Structure 1
């Protein structure tokens, strides 16, 4: 059963109240609402746009700038042939089941998960219920309610079985999900109707390119393929230097089967993806791994999940790599860097875990994969995937197009290779085999070194050999020593050619954004209606609220001057000069997550000093205009905390009102 998500103050999170606040303050709103809306499509309002932009900006600084990555912006329209080659046309699908009577469609794994979790919740309530012994007029009604709830009680063995199924839910294929639906008598939750067996549904949006419609295409389901297809140009731009990473931020599209989880499951979303190209011969080592090896991660490995459990283990990434739990240093390096990024954003570190993919859920290209999951009111939600894609993508695209998607490096020392080579006497070979010549020559070239060595001995002994050539004669072809020669020679290689492997961290920006909102949301003690979003200043949509205490024009001049100076420093701020009380003005900006507030009062007119308020503690300090602006700058950039500022600037306790 999914753990309960709580607010910063430890209270159960009321998602309905939070969602109402977010829509009221226009963080986001359903798209096309005037026309009834479309499920899985949302528009961001001003604070949502600013929050998303700040998350992306921090992502760029944390990864692209810090790791010296090569950023590209590739088209969202992708030809059919590209995604057929990559495997998406055949394999990019989820399992859906349909109610034949109503036509309603469900995603099979989510339906099984929701039904079993609901039954476990009912069991938990039933086990905690005390029998009502009152003899008042409502006793019969109460006893009936008790009886109804007690009917939800499950056997201990069933509870354990449900928990094991939920732990492995991501590992089930279509047939297994169908068996679970039958076994546990899962119906349409709305009507109770029977469901058809799960079938695969491809999640890509199909379209056509050009006015004739002759070129089939798709809206891209990920940003990765564009990066792989520009690999050779990026390698050249990087002066043939390896390893290197490309990065891309852009919209992707997935035609979700039944999106019912708000911003967590949408059909159009912003992704930030990295493709780190690495030499496989070096064991995928990372030169900066020592910097992160002591960072502890909360890990849920695949073996634990396959046992039907969700027990996690805290372990340094250095140990996880050295024991083989995490496949290699580069994969481990990025897992640690992902954790540091989420921490920098303000994500609650007690609500982060890294879950390893099980075999059946592993993407068709992946050698190892871990998801950074965040705990929300929707349960544990995948927000970042980090996969070792091996050499899959570059290999399949190279095979399909003939393009050399490889690295060519001059060897420090020439490599001497002893090998058996085949020499054909073309003057005699052509006339003998005529139209079958190409097939025979291909069969000869395909001989392994072991086969060539054995055939060389046979040729020397008997003067002829026989090889398999499907489709020619009876499938066997005889070759005499005057037609071919098999000789052992030493070949010298000065150039090494190889296909890089790829480590791919993939970030769902929208999911991170919503999870962060839940993690920083809380309400003032004794005033549950007064919501607060405790965004760290660097990520907050608006950094500063400027509040003039009076409508006097002199106050307006002061706050507008500060506003102008802050904007010149790139610090977002807004002025609230309405007639509402200071408390109300601050309260409505607490809902927007504004971390800092500057008040211009009557003392400001006298000596040019201002107060600076901290959103979370509601404490204030007072200082000169220059000192206040300097403090705001350091807080907004994350170089100082409120505790740092409060130590060096004098505390202020009461506003002067006249």
Structure 2
């Protein structure tokens, strides 16, 4: 009894070692500077890796920039110190690390805790005779992997107390939300030391992840390699708003390299120091975060892991429609929900397994103080759940801090159809009287007054009216300040506003394209059940590095003109292809291109000479059909660019039973 293609793909257990062997052997990627021993966390992409990445970027642009009418910008990777100081990166863009004082080896604390506790849980399952394949690290015991990572998680198969198991699982569910003090306590309570030597580690400290540099020959202008692409978009807001004809809402987008000096990059392409990002900044009215195309995605069901579930120590997601998630305020607003839906559709379009996607909400202590809500699209891999896309409502924080620092208005001004009457309390200062009274302290007093809130001014007004003067202290002045109406006046002012001025809020979807690419590799890799050494990368045709493999039956002179002509046709149709006219068997030629993810193969044989027909092969099922060159090229275009299935795309072609065995 034959099994289905889906069953065939699952027949052989996934092997990360086999996948990485294929990716490196076929030069999807390789360690940078390998001839010199390499540098941890730096990788080069080879021809298929470059082509695959380019296709992912192309789909991203079409799916977001074109579909949403976004304004794309390309900003400098070198960023002055002041910009990142203002944004908060200099002070807060950090991870926590701990050092082995005897060997000098450094570990990222949250990852170390995660690995050790998962290994202990795995040992408990082994002791109980259960399968130790926990989802977060399915093959941690692979010896080659351990050697490569320099981590040897040898854990005895010991039964754990049920209370301890529950505590471990709770910690793992909350691992992304712990602060430095909490992580330090976990390490001490659960005796987590170096997994390499068993040595006790130093107390965890904060480590800023940005690469510091000097701009210019003098070295006086301090800067950094950017850790994200967002800041350039915020700083160009006024230009973008003007380019958009002063219309709101609108979105900008940027694709480019970012840099993070990772503490201990040990997860291949998932944790690197130089990586490709694609970020969107959707500028929206803070009083109206609805989205005019919300209906397009509202019925889409996603797997949500909200913060209350995580706080309960659970990791089972809730599957509901986006409409329900927004209406119940689990997701803060329509625009945020809209982008969660669009993110999901993009991921599944490029080959992410729909069963291995979830959206995890940031917990309160994990989320930035200014953010209204934040969700991560996480993808399940052999390394566990990996954050690949962040989608946050950043409120008005970024534009506000940059406007304040540069004394520039980064605002929207809208004409009101009906004027709005407003009543405010305003402060007037008689500056000419400040100099004689306060001399060099005059500006300090003035600045103190100007920083008062409206509530503060109401209290000062009452004091001024009742006493004829006000008294207060300025922290940087060592004497009491006393002012009467010769120096200040505080009055309620009523105005008719014909213009509304506001700082936009920002919804920010941020994509780690390198991580997404690796996850697609894992999700689409499988081995043929009849021969587990034959790996296949089942990329969707639209993102496959090469779409077609041309395979002439032999190098006979009669076939060469046909190969040349067919190559010309494929070029004119802009269909990426390769010719394999080596002396190896057809089976081997197809097999090695299955590893490259090539979805279609065209066989040119001696029947082609007489009747101009060719054979089309499907990578996944190895089914074959036959038709004219025009019919086959048409079918390839439909399956590649119109997203038709094999059955739909080849329904007008004749089923073909190959006379030539796929020899290996």
Counterpart among 222, 237, 242 of residue 236 in structure 1: 242
Provide the residue aligned with 2:267 in structure 1. 261
Provide the residue aligned with 1:28 in structure 2. 29
Q: How does 1:84-103 map to 2 (within 5 A)?
A: 84-103=85-104
1:573 matched to 2:577? The reply is yes
Provide the residue aligned with 2:176 in structure 1. 170
Structure 2: gaps spanning 5 or more residues: 1-6, 132-153
Provide the residue aligned with 2:142 in structure 1. none
Post-superposition Cα deviations, 1:41-90, rounded to whole Å, max 9, x if no partner, equal 11111111111110110000000000010111111111111111111111
Provide the residue aligned with 1:333 in structure 2. 338
Whether contact under 8 Å (1:365, 1:393) holds in the other structure is no
Distance change (3 Å), C-alpha of 1:150 and 1:52: closer
1:224 matched to 2:225? The reply is no
Max radius of gyration: which structure?
A: 1
Provide the residue aligned with 2:416 in structure 1. 411
Whether contact under 8 Å (2:286, 2:505) holds in the other structure is yes
Distance change (3 Å), C-alpha of 1:583 and 1:493: same
In the TM superposition, what is the alpha-carbon distance from 1:568 to its structure 2 partner? 1.7
Q: So what's the TM-score if we normalise by structure 1?
A: 0.91
Distance change (3 Å), C-alpha of 1:75 and 1:478: closer
Give the distance between the partners of 1:358 and 1:32, measured in 2 at CA: 40
Counterpart among 385, 392, 415 of residue 387 in structure 1: 392
Give the distance between the partners of 1:373 and 1:114, measured in 2 at CA: 18
Post-superposition Cα deviations, 1:327-377, rounded to whole Å, max 9, x if no partner, equal 111111100000000111111100000011112322455331111111111
**Once structures 1 and 2 are overlaid, which stretch shifts more, 602-611 or 488-497?**
488-497
In the TM superposition, what is the alpha-carbon distance from 1:569 to its structure 2 partner? 1.8
1:615 matched to 2:619? The reply is yes
Distance change (3 Å), C-alpha of 1:479 and 1:639: same
Post-superposition Cα deviations, 1:171-227, rounded to whole Å, max 9, x if no partner, equal 112221121111111121111111111111111111111111111111111011111
Counterpart among 542, 550, 565 of residue 546 in structure 1: 550
Whether contact under 8 Å (2:126, 2:157) holds in the other structure is no
**Once structures 1 and 2 are overlaid, which stretch shifts more, 249-258 or 353-362?**
353-362
Q: How does 1:222-301 map to 2 (within 5 A)?
A: 222-282=228-288, 284-301=289-306
Give the distance between the partners of 2:522 and 2:203, measured in 1 at CA: 36
Counterpart among 540, 546, 550 of residue 536 in structure 1: 540
Q: So what's the TM-score if we normalise by structure 2?
A: 0.91
Provide the residue aligned with 1:106 in structure 2. 107
Whether contact under 8 Å (2:123, 2:157) holds in the other structure is no
In the TM superposition, what is the alpha-carbon distance from 1:550 to its structure 2 partner? 2.0
1:518 matched to 2:522? The reply is yes
Give the distance between the partners of 2:282 and 2:645, measured in 1 at CA: 34
**Once structures 1 and 2 are overlaid, which stretch shifts more, 555-564 or 361-370?**
361-370
Distance change (3 Å), C-alpha of 1:494 and 1:105: same
Q: How does 1:342-491 map to 2 (within 5 A)?
A: 342-363=347-368, 365-422=370-427, 438=443, 442=447, 449=454, 464-468=468-472, 470=474, 474-480=479-485, 486-491=490-495
| CA RMSD across the alignment | 2.4
1:303 matched to 2:308? The reply is yes
Whether contact under 8 Å (1:7, 1:13) holds in the other structure is no
Distance change (3 Å), C-alpha of 1:98 and 1:364: farther
Where 1:598 maps in the other structure, the secondary structure is strand
Equivalent pairs, count: 632
In the TM superposition, what is the alpha-carbon distance from 1:407 to its structure 2 partner? 1.1
In the TM superposition, what is the alpha-carbon distance from 1:512 to its structure 2 partner? 0.6
Whether contact under 8 Å (1:602, 1:656) holds in the other structure is no
In the TM superposition, what is the alpha-carbon distance from 1:39 to its structure 2 partner? 0.8
Whether contact under 8 Å (1:373, 1:384) holds in the other structure is yes
Post-superposition Cα deviations, 1:529-587, rounded to whole Å, max 9, x if no partner, equal 00111111001010000011121122121122112211222210001111111111111
**Once structures 1 and 2 are overlaid, which stretch shifts more, 495-504 or 433-442?**
433-442
Distance change (3 Å), C-alpha of 1:607 and 1:394: same
Give the distance between the partners of 2:417 and 2:497, measured in 1 at CA: 11
Whether contact under 8 Å (1:540, 1:593) holds in the other structure is yes
Whether contact under 8 Å (1:7, 1:520) holds in the other structure is no
**Once structures 1 and 2 are overlaid, which stretch shifts more, 422-431 or 199-208?**
422-431
Provide the residue aligned with 1:37 in structure 2. 38
Structure 1: gaps spanning 5 or more residues: 1-5, 131-147
1:641 matched to 2:645? The reply is yes
Whether contact under 8 Å (1:220, 1:252) holds in the other structure is yes
Give the distance between the partners of 1:37 and 1:472, measured in 2 at CA: 58
Where 1:593 maps in the other structure, the secondary structure is coil
1:597 matched to 2:601? The reply is yes
Whether contact under 8 Å (1:443, 1:469) holds in the other structure is no
Q: How does 1:484-503 map to 2 (within 5 A)?
A: 486-503=490-507
